[in-house]
Structure 1
Amino acid sequence: MAANSISFSGTAPRQTMWLKTKTVPSLGSLPFTTQFGQRHKMEILQHSICMGRQTENKAVLHHRKLFPIMASANKSWSFTNSSPLSASDTVKEFYICINEKKLKQLGNYISADCHIDECSFPTPFQGKKEVMQFFDQLTVSMGQNVRFNVKHVYKGDDQLTAAANWHLEFKKVQIPFTRGCSVFEFTKEGEKIIIKKAQIVIESPIKPGILVLTLLKTVTSIFDNFPTTAQWFLKRQHEILQWILKIHSMSFTMFINPFLEGYFRIWSYPTKLLSYAFKVIVFISKFLNKE
């Protein structure tokens, strides 16, 4: 058996094909028709092999082009179907739901026994029902143009705590005295991370300055002199505040309301007299104008 080395151009990279053929006489010793037929067969074979190589190269090139697209699609799918949100991501989604007034979606981030301590209110909100009522009133009070602008979100030492500082904006303009900070504690419900406890502190519009230090010094000196009373007071501060509010409402109802009612009643008589006098003056002026 003999092997002829045939080199084909137009393929990349350039390759050499070895074809096994039968032993035939030299082309010069054959008649013209045989030589032409052999050349024609060789050209057909060369053309078919080239076409096969081109088809294979196109398939490889198409596969190489298709692979990054499939890889990117798989990457996008894995991102959207990734692990559950972290604590910091939950905080961001929490404020997005408030800004967009998506209360139903917001409820998915609130636990059944959620505890929200909003320091502007005398008592915390306990339970999902009270908490959602508070956020419902909050979103209504914000109107259509007020939004939370979350500046930073901070991760806690563990995976179930986070904090955020923010301010309120009206059409992307910061509203004065609306800076605040929120500290969150989370719990796991299945694969989700939901809010179990939060403390919200907002900037006070009153800036007492040095008076705060003076008041702090006075309070601490009293605590130092009466430590037992101070501990009792600190443990029951919410109860004492509730009693103060009750006493205030009772005193307002019993003393201040009657006083205000009597005060307005007294001033009602001079007001009536002045109105009658004014009517008399108007009547006299009309009578004189007729004459």
Structure 2
Amino acid sequence: MLLNSTITPLCSVHCRIPDLPNVFTKALPYSTTLTATGKGSFTSRTLIKVSSSSENQAAVFDVASQPHDEGAAEEVVRRFYDGINRRDLASVEPLIAEKCVYEDLIFPRPFVGREEILGFFKSFIDSISKDLQFVIDDISAEDSSAVGVTWHLEWKGKAFPFSKGCSFYRLQMVDGKSYGRDVVEPAIKPGKAALGAIRAVTWVLQQFPQLADQL
């Protein structure tokens, strides 16, 4: 399965986080297009495009053989976040295609290929504390053609400032491999500066843990 996803920057000054803009609104965080052959079932080469805009990022993942059921897209998303939360890139790697394209719109160019994408995720993981975790607030699974997700970040169980996000995955049955993107590109592309901002906030919380009580 190829998962194309547009992600929003985590805690940037603009407050839009990786996975998740406002579903059903202009600030739609993740707009996903799932490509599959056959009617009603997804093949091992299903293409899922996720567009997220909370300060917008776009990503593409290729997932190897997903279950042929309506919950396949939901499961991919859950597995991805679980791997990132555990800082386990080994579990994330199988979700990314060899020739996958990951577009993070806070960066000037997309990350192309599994190796480059994993390098980006490694930089992301190395930039934040393990105490900072993605938490899925709600995820839809009833519709086989669309999946909506709302999430936020938590620091040691407490909500992290400016970290709420929402993603919408739209699945579409098509022939071949293609995907569409529905994301509003930010005028400013802070790039690694966004990771620096996250690192700075987590460092402050590590030095002054009592501040976490004020979150």
Give the TM-score band, short-chain normalised.
Answer: 0.3 to 0.5
TM-score relative to the length of structure 1: 0.33
When Rg is computed on C-alpha atoms for both structures, the one with the higher figure is 1
Using CA pairs under 8 Å that are at least 6 residues apart, name the structure with larger relative contact order, 1 or 2. 2
More helix by share: 1
